[in-house]
Amino acid sequence: MTINADFDVKQLVLAGGAFGPREIDQLRESISRDMKKFDELKEAVNELKTKDEDELSPAVRVKLGVCMFLIGDYDAAYASLKKGDGGALTQFYFAKLHFVKGEFDDAIRAYNTAQTAGYNSDECILGRAEVYREAGKLNESLQELDSLSGAVEQTAEYLYQRGATVNAIGGNPQEAIALYERAVSVDKDHPGALFGLALENERRGNDREALEYYQRAVRHFPTNVGTLINLGVLYEDMEMYELAQQCFQRVLDSYPNNPKARLFLKDVKASNEMHYDEEEQMRLRELGVKLNQPISDFELSVRARNCLSLMGVQTLRDLCKLTEQELLSSKNFGETSLEEIKRVLAEKNLRLGMYSAEKQRADANENAQLTPEEQSVLQRPVSDLNLSVRARKCMNRLGISTLGELVSRSADELLEIKNFGVTSLKEIRDKLGEFNIRLKGD
């Protein structure tokens, strides 16, 4: 179907005249080509809703219901269609509404009624095949598809529905892929077939190919929620956080209460914050490398080296835990050695005493005798912390299942995990603080 670039969405919705499958296809195609027209559709719907009751004839009610369905306002769409003319178009969209709500038996009945009322028989049969498949009635789905013959078997929708059903049965995945590919060869923009190919590529680890198919699929209007969410998750895995946010936000624009989109948007925002903290992560990692350097790497006098050895100082971190007073209290350690040590640390942008609190806490932990209650805390599952999705993923990567296993890790170790940044580190520290426990070295 060829749609003029200046197709007037508001004119179609607000003016009188024919409004059937052809006009609906024109509307969807226009918005698919230019998503700005989606806002025009919402404006037209809002304007139509404000009309007086006597201006809203049964036919206009059907038009309003279909348009509300397209923008995702399902409850309002159903209410408007109930006041419609009860014809074939009304029944067909009743079927679609029941389907998206998971009311499969009602959807089948509505498709039957639409077909009896004169709606395109092939489309009703394909609709029933999809409903049966989603309801887990795969034999019934195949029976519906097998009942079709002729030109419809070469359409993209038929090829997609058969491929999806073959895939659901779990027989030959290559057959399903071949059917999806044939569907795309017939209609390069078919959203279902593109989604199917994206999913199969993602399952096989072909993320780049999956990304291309998802991107093509989301250009179709109305966009499938599952497609947007899968694309958003893939963007997030590829660290394309801004694009991931856009996908989840698109879902929420139409379905504000979608729980998955809400959760994933929150998670990707946290990931984005971590992304912007990369310099801070790098700084912390570089600091960790510096702190772990052995004292033997530096040119120190024999007196200073011997004193540090007697105090058990092996790395710069050990040294930074000590104060000037502690060093000067050591036998044979004087001002000359102190200045020598301070010069070595200054070259690394470090100073004495900067980790003295760490030493104090470590000493306290080592000397404390754990009570049964404290031991019980360390045996609790890490899920008790109620961490964000991002932090939970990092715990899974490390195989951490208890609080005891978690506090045996240092902040530096956690920061080495992929996608774990200072935001997640702060979250974990705060959560552990609620149990009065800390990470190793904190």
Q: Which residues contact 249 (CB under 8 A, 6 or more apart)?
A: 261, 265
Give the residue-averaged pLDDT of 405-412. 79
Whether residue 288 has pLDDT greater than 80: no
Q: What is the pLDDT of residue 4?
A: 59
Residue 222 lies in a domain: yes
Cα–Cα distance list, 122 to 19, 126, 148, 163, 302 (Å)? 20, 6, 7, 17, 92
Q: Is residue 3 very low, low, confident or very high in pLDDT (cuts 50, 70, 90)?
A: low
Res. 343: pLDDT tops 60: yes
Q: Does pLDDT of 331 surpass 60?
A: no
Confidence at residue 363, expressed as pLDDT on a 0 to 100 scale: 45
- Give the percent of the chain with pLDDT over 70: 88
The answer to the question of residue 254 being in a domain is yes
In a domain, 309, yes or no: yes
Q: What is the rounded distance in angstroms from the CA atom of residue 388 to the CA atom of residue 312?
A: 40
- Cα R_g (the chain), whole angstroms: 32
For residues 338 and 418, membership in a common domain is answered with no
Tell me 224's DSSP state.
P
What pLDDT band is residue 240 in, cutting at 50, 70 and 90? confident
**291 in any annotated domain:** yes
In this structure, is residue 345 part of a structural domain? yes
CATH at 385? 1.10.150.20
Q: Which of 357, 388, 409 is the last residue of a domain?
A: 357
Domain check: are 201 and 264 in the same one? yes
Do residues 431 and 395 lie in contact, with contact meaning Cβ atoms separated by under 8 Å?
no
Task: For residue 414, give Cα distances in angstroms to 236, 332, 383, 396, 422.
Answer: 20, 39, 17, 12, 10
User: Is the model's pLDDT at 367 over the cut of 60?
Assistant: no
End-to-end CA distance of the chain: 65
Mean pLDDT, all residues of the chain = 85
Cβ(189)–Cβ(209) below 8 Å: no
**Which residue, of 276, 292, 310, is where some domain finishes?**
276
Residue 394 and residue 318 share a domain: no
Share of the chain above pLDDT 90, in %: 39
> Of 357, 388, 412, which marks where a domain is finished?
357
Question: Bridge-partner residues for 315, per DSSP?
Answer: 294
291 & 338 share domain:
yes
**272 and 289 inside one domain:** no
Q: Is the pLDDT of residue 80 over 80?
A: yes
pTM: 0.61
Report how many domains make up the chain.
3
CATH code for the domain of 220: 1.25.40.10
In a shared domain, residues 262 and 302: no
Residue 198: the pLDDT is 93
Q: Do 288 and 324 lie in a common domain?
A: yes
Domain that holds residue 192: 188-276
Percentages helix, strand, coil for the chain, rounded to the nearest 5?
A: 70, 0, 30
Q: Which amino acid is at 57?
A: S
Q: What's the CA gap between 192 and 263, in Å, rounded?
A: 25
pLDDT value at position 62? 95
| pLDDT at residue 111, rounded to an integer | 97
Judged against a pLDDT cut of 60, whether residue 366 lies above it is answered with no
Q: Is residue 196 part of a domain?
A: yes
